[in-house]
């Protein structure tokens, strides 16, 4: 057995992930990472299932496309993009820190990631709704 150098949160019950009381900002990022991860995995498989309409044929697919251009669907697209950006940019931060790059700046990078997420999501939302209008 190897020596344990750090306490491990292994065995944390799932609901405790979401209990952010008294936690540091990095823990909020951890919770956001897990929530967005679960959402994105569900989305990936939903996306693959919906693509099966292509195999059904042209009318099935084009029918879905018409539905997907409704405002409610477009709003869901914006939520998806927020999830992708938050997860991707925080993932980039974790990778850099894990490689030993910018460790003292990890909190600054977190805020930059958050600002970029909001800014790029806003631009995407404008593009999405402008294309529709």
User: Which positions touch other proteins (CB under 8 A)?
Assistant: 6-14, 24, 26-27, 29-30, 33-34, 37-38, 40-41, 44-45, 48, 51-52, 54-55, 57-58, 61-62, 65, 68-69, 74, 77, 84, 88, 91-92, 94-95, 98-99, 124, 127-128, 131-132
| Nearest-approach distance from CB 48 to other proteins, in angstroms | 6
| Residue in this structure with the two tokens 């944390």, named with its chain if needed | 12
| Nearest-approach distance from CB 91 to other proteins, in angstroms | 5
DSSP per-residue letters across 57-87: -HHHHHHHHHHHTSHHHHHHHHHHHHHHHHH
| Nearest-approach distance from CB 37 to other proteins, in angstroms | 5
Q: Which is nearer to other proteins, 65 or 122 (CB)?
A: 65
Which residues lie closer than 8 Å to 18 by C-beta, 6 or more apart? 31, 35
Nearest Cα to Cα of residue 12 among 22, 20, 24, 1: 20
| Nearest-approach distance from CB 131 to other proteins, in angstroms | 6
Helix axes 71-98, 106-132, angle to 10 degrees: 160
């Amino acid at each position: 057995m190897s020596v344990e150098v750090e306490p491990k949160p292994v065995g944390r019950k799932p609901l405790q992930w979401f209990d952010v009381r008294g936690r540091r900002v990095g823990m909020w990022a951890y919770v956001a990472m897990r929530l967005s991860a679960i959402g994105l995995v569900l989305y990936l498989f939903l996306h693959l299932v919906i693509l099966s309409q292509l195999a059904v044929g042209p009318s099935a697919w084009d029918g879905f496309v018409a539905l997907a251009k409704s405002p409610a669907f477009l709003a869901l697209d914006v939520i998806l993009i927020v999830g992708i950006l938050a997860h991707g940019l925080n993932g980039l931060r974790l990778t850099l820190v894990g490689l030993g790059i910018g460790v003292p700046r990890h909190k600054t990078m977190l805020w930059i990631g958050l600002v970029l997420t909001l800014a790029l999501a806003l631009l995407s939302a404008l593009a999405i709704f402008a294309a529709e209008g």
